[in-house]
Chain A
Amino acid sequence: MDKRYIAEDRFAIERRMHPFRRSPGVGRPVSPDTLGDPLFQWFSTAVALGVVGLLVLITVILSLAAQDSIRTFGLGFLTGNVWNPVPPLVFGAVPFVYGTLVTSALALLFGVPISLGIAIFLSELSPPWLRIPLTYVVELLAAVPSVVYGLWGIFVLGPVMRVSVEPVVQDIFGFLPIFQGNPIGTDKFTAGVILAIMIIPTISAVSREALLAVPDNQREAALSLGATRWETTRVAVLRYARAGIFGAIILGLGRAVGETMAVTMTIGNRNAISVSLFDQGQTIASWIANNFLNATDPLELSALIELGLVLMLMSLVINVFARLMLGRVLRRGEGAA
């Protein structure tokens, strides 16, 4: 008797939770959806398309504003390495593209292993009581404004790099051209380290999600073959989650490529291409930030905007490339299926 009552009650609750399966006399009476549904659908569609429109609009407006520069320099803008704001006006993007690529690569080099370590600890190794607080702290890193990272970079990280880190690196690896010259602490190396710190929360949080999504039966499969904890993580977990981890890395790279404030404050701001990481440099974002207010000639302004367009295209290329790579990795994973 009791059991039947409970079963009926549960049936009724279930019905109420599924409005489309509502039967007469059960749950709240339904008013025919004359307005709510279409309105909601219209709103969702509008905001979704709005995002696409916004991207197009930004591209169009940037292109229009950069028109002068595009007409004047053509492809020379992408191959030139001179930025001359006094007549004869010549503007080229190469040093900034170079600086952006170098600092972003450094950021990934330092950031990815640390982020994966954090993600593996949080999802596989951490005692349960530490898991949630630590996750919050890592995410808090993402909430620190980049200008604060910049200040910290100037007053704390820079001097440490100059006095302790860079000379040591030079002692060991000084035979490599990338570690030659006079370590000054405000250079591409420092900017790369700052960027690494800034992308760690992104990469580790997204990777952690990917690792948590790996079913436990995969871990059990490896453990039952006599795998150690690390082997289980490597064979069963990391492999299974590699697509998600790759996505996380690309997300981090996207942030590193576009990051402006902290890099501007630590990279030393010198418009030059040099092999040594201990030399000052410039990224696209930092150059725009440094020169936007001082651009007196309309052509220089136009060139700066074209630089912005280049940055946008770079992000686009990275994303498309990442997606292609991802597709290849996944296909190979599934064999010829």
Chain B
Amino acid sequence: MAAKIRTEKVSAWYGPKKAIEDITLDFEEQAVSAIIGPSGCGKSTLIRCLNRMHETIPKARVEGKVLLSGEDIYGLPAVTVRRRIGMVFQKANPFPTMSIYENVAAGLRLNGERNRDRLDTAVLESLKQAALWDEVKDSLEKSGASLSGGQQQRLCIARALAVRPEVLLMDEPCAALDPIATAKIEDLIFDLKKDYTVVIVTHNMQQAARVAETTAFMYLGHLIEVGPTRELFERPKETLTESYITGRFG
């Protein structure tokens, strides 16, 4: 399979502090790639470099190349990049002043879509894709904030999917959820890879093992090892990886 996203020697800073260094990594098309590592290893920073969200933080900067289907995203307008590469965050962040419907339609409306039929269709499809439709189909006018935590996170996934991105980035999407809500989202991630390239950052090694084809392990801002998930967990090449997955630190 081809690499949908490829980072070439990506380094990122917060002010003078270097968070990640020289990361070169491929993310395959229509597959789930996981990035694991202990807190502060730079995995969230890396994923935020993939859709130019890193630079929205004051004094943050990035060096290196991120190629989306061969095209450097740092040569494209950030707004275009983020429409092609959607993102879901650690804490579910629906717009609380908008209804469920408006939340999902928000991205399309930003793109200038005004046609009610097309909006309706997109909202329906996105909510179905996010496995939320059955739970909310009778309450689309309710506030997005009225849902449970797990539903809110799936709403955010639906909102990200509604603009039909090529890639979906997920930054610890289950960190704030209970096991049942987590299981639902993991099932969902599994389904999504049919249509999307998914990159997921996770704290939870079992989660990476369950959903991802490929896993990358990061430590202190460096990429330590990357490989097929099973191989990485069963026969890690690096001692650091082995120490981490066997629970000696992290």
Contact = CB atoms under 8 A, between A and B. Distances in A.
A218 B82 contact: no
Interface size class of A (residues with CB under 8 A): 20 to 34
A297 interface: no
A335 B163 contact: no
B77 to A, nearest CB: 9
Contacts, number: 85
Contact of B93 (A218, A226, A235, A336): A218
B177 to A, nearest CB: 16
Nearest to B139: A336
B136 to A, nearest CB: 11
B51 interface: yes
B86 A225 contact: yes
Interface stretch (A28-36, A147-155, A200-208, A236-244): A236-244
Interface string A195-222: 0000000000000000000010111111
B143 A334 contact: yes
B96 A336 contact: no
A221 B89 contact: yes
B69 to A, nearest CB: 17
A228 B52 CA distance: 13
A225 B93 contact: no
A239 B106 CA distance: 13
Contact of A226 (B82, B100, B141, B156): B82
Contacts of A240: 95-97
B142 A235 contact: no
Given A128-B58, A221-B95, A221-B156, A226 B79 contact: yes
B89 A217 contact: yes
A235 B91 CA distance: 19
B224 interface: no
B98 interface: yes
Interface residues of B, number: 35
B107 interface: yes
Interface string B148-160: 0000000010011
A335 B99 contact: yes
A255 B146 CA distance: 37
Contacts of A14: none
Nearest to A224: B87
B53 interface: yes
A238 to B, nearest CB: 10
Interface string B109-151: 0110000000000000000000000000001011101100000
A333 B86 contact: no
Contacts of B86: 224-225
Contacts of B80: 226
B83 interface: yes
A337 interface: yes
B15 to A, nearest CB: 12
A227 interface: yes
Contacts of B106: 222, 225, 235
B206 interface: no
Contacts of B111: 226
A220 B56 contact: yes
A239 B97 CA distance: 7
B89 A239 contact: no
Nearest to A332: B97
Interface of B: 51, 53, 56, 58, 79-83, 86-87, 89, 91, 93-100, 106-107, 110-111, 139, 141-143, 145-146, 156, 159-160, 163
Nearest first, the 9 closest Cβ-Cβ pairs linking A and B are A226-B83, A225-B107, A337-B146, A217-B93, A224-B87, A335-B142, A335-B143, A226-B82, A333-B97
Interface of A: 128, 215, 217-228, 231, 235-236, 239-240, 242, 333-337
Given A222-B110, A225-B160, A226-B80, 10 more contacts: A222-B106, A224-B82, A225-B82, A225-B110, A226-B82, A239-B97, A240-B96, A336-B139, A336-B141, A337-B143
